[in-house]
Structure 1
Amino acid sequence: MKKIKAAALSALTAISLACSGAPAAPAQTAAPEGTVKPWDAPADPPRITRTGQVQEWVNQVDHKNVLSYKVFSPSMRRDIPVAVIPATDQAGNRVPNAPTLYLLNGAGGAEQNQDWLKLYPAKDFFAGKRVNVVVPQAGAFSYYTDWVDENVHSDYINGPQKWETFLTKELPGPIERVVGANGRRAVAGVSMSATSALLLSQHNPGMYQAAAAFSGCAATSSPHGYNFARVTVNRASATPDFKTVTPEKMWGPMNSPYNRYNDALLGAEKLRGTKLYISSGTGLAGRPDQVSYLMGIGAPQIAAQAGSAVLQVEGGVIEAAVNTCTHDLKAKLDGLGIPAHFELRNAGTHSWPYWTEDMNRAWTTTIAPALGV
């Protein structure tokens, strides 16, 4: 009976969190803009955090099709590496007064060679599409949010983490002036940063014409959402102690006002007016998760077998959890009468082949129409 009561209480808690309104935004203070600095990334490359190897995305920087800058963040008191794919027409000529798409990396980011330029053919896909693409190449395990604790120290999280301030107040004006953008924007994220894309849109109404969230969890203040974030940010620790880097240090206690403010399920009403693309798989193995597929794209048999096992077990479990989050968000948006393009796959793990399909589809169905290109 106690177990039944506990389960019922947990369910009621989740329902109440999903149905209640989001708290008012915290007081905002004016933030100075950042400073864009020229940077030759291949000559002075950033390093993968734990191995010291060069981050591979810099190999694509040719100062024509892919540009590199450092942008000083006043709130974080450091330079942030930023990659830019400038807007071009079909002939390859630069296009002035073009919109801007901000791509946010997943949990490991460029610091683990897990970024948009490394794992998605961004340079080729966006060539000729008349859109500037901006990719912040830092922020691993940060959720691209403003953290309450400014004194966290780990391999990946060090000092003030003011990513929302950077992305919405310090970066856009300066970088868009450098590339000659027109002020129309979209934002897209995968996994961890899918949550971020939704939150940035909610907290800054009208700033983004479109938002795309691939395999993310909108809820962050419910028990399952908060602890999903715990598992993610703990990966920034040198050891899996679940103490060095925690969601308490990021958003405060579970279900606290600031945590609720950063719950995209609770704040769903503020997505009204933004064009949305939201996706997830079920966690069941699809074609890209099979040994035969991995061998077909060049992996040796042993590596293909190991990779397939990781995709189907670890990637399957994560995507199954994400799938629940995504259906919760769909129910909330449907109830509010807020339209969104949902891509709910019958199969698929938490991996880049599916996000590649998502980006291609999101561009056609949602982002390009919203940006007018």
Structure 2
Amino acid sequence: MKLFRPILAIAAASAIAVGAATAAPADAAPVTAAQAAGNTPVGTVKNWNANPAPIAVSTGEKAKWVDEVDHNKVWAFWVSSPSMGRDIPVAVIPARNEAGQLVKNAPTVYLLNGAGGAEQNNDWLTYADTQKFYGDKGVNVVIPMEGAFSYYTDWLNTPQAEYFRGPQKWETFLTKELPGPIEQRLGADNRRAIVGFSMSGTSALVLPTKIPGFYDAAASFSGCAATSTFAPYNFARLTVNRGAGAAGANYQTVTPEQMWGPMGGPYNRANDALVNADKLRGTALYVSTATGLASENDMMGTLVGKGATPAQASAAAMTLQVEGGVIEAAINTCNHDLRAKLNKLQIPAHYEFRNVGTHSWPDWRKDLENSWWKTIKPAFKM
């Protein structure tokens, strides 16, 4: 899918310091990081210079997000994953108040990248100016910078492919190995939220069903809650196939069967947030989608106005309107199914259903702000 290639950039818009401010006490998720981890070995937070800078698989060069790391407004660490046997790069926007002071006992927002992720320079720091928005909100923002095409789930079998470096045990990493160590390093409290878009929008709904009460809030931008029926399962097939790289993208090298087993099987259903929607009760929810109909952001003239040449703008607009439109229309159906299920279960959520818009960054950037004001901040009682 060309939607996430670099041309569409045009369409996008160390320790806690002494004397840091302290956040006011607030209610927190009832499940602590230690309780979530149980007997699972947790990771170790390592300084950024412990390993060479990450390389973007798509370019073979240093990942672009690394240039945002100034060890002031944006920090970076390596966190070991015992289950995956390697260190994972993690970007952090430390909690600061409007005066620029570091804040102790602050909540943590976990942002998950989409399908191509940092491995394709398609991440929250590179595309969305996330550091500018969250820089004065008084919350820690933690962004794992690996996991392209993984659905941030625990795979049953490890693919041998370009974008998969060893075991894929992302649920274990995100819910057990990472939170305790990183939250301790940041001096965070027990309040936390998880946010994802596109592929990781699915993950942001699935992970809270695995440990109910662990997240105060969850936000899914253009994600599909369902995974175990024909259309969503095969949408996942299209996504994970891209993880094979150009040479191996044959729908056999990387498959959803490797990830979740057979469609509709027990493990697949265990990773379906629509099936397990009752476990979202008590988590503040934000769910967004558009219709796939082109908006102003998807028009050639808008892209030319942002600096594209007419040829670039024409190609990008075509990709947004055709590929991005089809994807978002499918996601729209997923999210209406989720709303119907949650309504039946009498589980409240904030829905941001737009009349126009494609599967692209401009709307997700808006969602980043909307989800904070409408769902995450209230859930943190800030």
The alpha-carbon deviation at position 255 of structure 1 amounts to: 0.6
Q: Paired residue for 2:46?
A: 37
Q: Tell me which stretches of 4 or more aligned residues in structure 1 moved more than 2 Å.
A: none
Percentage of matched positions with identical amino acids: 59
Aligned residue for 1:183, secondary structure, equals coil
**Aligned runs of 1:118-197 on 2, under 5 Å?**
118-150=126-158, 152-197=159-204
The alpha-carbon deviation at position 183 of structure 1 amounts to: 1.2
Distance in 2, matches of 1:159 and 1:178, equals 27
Distance in 2, matches of 1:30 and 1:267, equals 24
Q: Paired residue for 2:32?
A: none
Does residue 1:371 correspond to 2:356, yes or no?
Answer: no
Aligned residue for 2:191, secondary structure, equals strand
**Which of structures 1 and 2 has the larger relative contact order (alpha carbons within 8 angstroms, sep 6+)?**
2
8 Å contact from structure 1 (residues 40, 68) kept in 2: no
* Corresponding residue pairs, total: 344
Deviation by residue 1:217-244 (Cα, 9 ceiling, x = unmatched): 1110000111011000000113321011
Distance in 2, matches of 1:299 and 1:44, equals 34
Distance in 2, matches of 1:71 and 1:153, equals 23
Distance in 1, matches of 2:130 and 2:187, equals 20
Deviation by residue 1:9-55 (Cα, 9 ceiling, x = unmatched): xxxxxxxxxxxxxxxxxxx97311100000149x9321111321211
Q: Paired residue for 2:320?
A: 311
**Aligned runs of 1:200-349 on 2, under 5 Å?**
200-238=207-245, 239-349=248-358
List runs of 5+ in structure 2 lacking aligned partners: 1-36
Does residue 1:49 correspond to 2:57, yes or no?
Answer: yes
Counterpart amino acid of 2:174? L
Counterpart amino acid of 1:110? A
Does residue 1:66 correspond to 2:74, yes or no?
Answer: yes
8 Å contact from structure 1 (residues 199, 262) kept in 2: yes
The alpha-carbon deviation at position 295 of structure 1 amounts to: 1.0
Q: Paired residue for 2:15?
A: none
Counterpart amino acid of 2:232? G
Aligned residue for 2:155, secondary structure, equals coil
Deviation by residue 1:63-95 (Cα, 9 ceiling, x = unmatched): 111001000000000000000000001111100
Calculate the TM-score normalised by the size of structure 1.
0.90
Distance in 1, matches of 2:223 and 2:305, equals 29
Aligned residue for 1:101, secondary structure, equals strand
The alpha-carbon deviation at position 157 of structure 1 amounts to: 1.6
8 Å contact from structure 1 (residues 277, 362) kept in 2: yes
Distance in 2, matches of 1:44 and 1:159, equals 18
Counterpart amino acid of 2:136? G
Counterpart amino acid of 1:206? G
Q: Paired residue for 2:100?
A: 92
Distance in 1, matches of 2:113 and 2:283, equals 21
The alpha-carbon deviation at position 300 of structure 1 amounts to: 1.3
Q: Paired residue for 1:12?
A: none
Aligned residue for 1:187, secondary structure, equals strand
Distance in 2, matches of 1:79 and 1:331, equals 40
8 Å contact from structure 1 (residues 277, 366) kept in 2: yes
Counterpart amino acid of 1:96? K
Q: Paired residue for 1:76?
A: 84
Distance in 2, matches of 1:155 and 1:363, equals 35
Calculate the TM-score normalised by the size of structure 2.
0.88
Distance in 1, matches of 2:375 and 2:205, equals 14
Distance in 1, matches of 2:241 and 2:79, equals 27
Change (3 A) 1:29 1:146: farther
Match of 2:361 among 335, 352, 355: 352
Distance in 2, matches of 1:53 and 1:286, equals 34
List runs of 5+ in structure 1 lacking aligned partners: 1-27
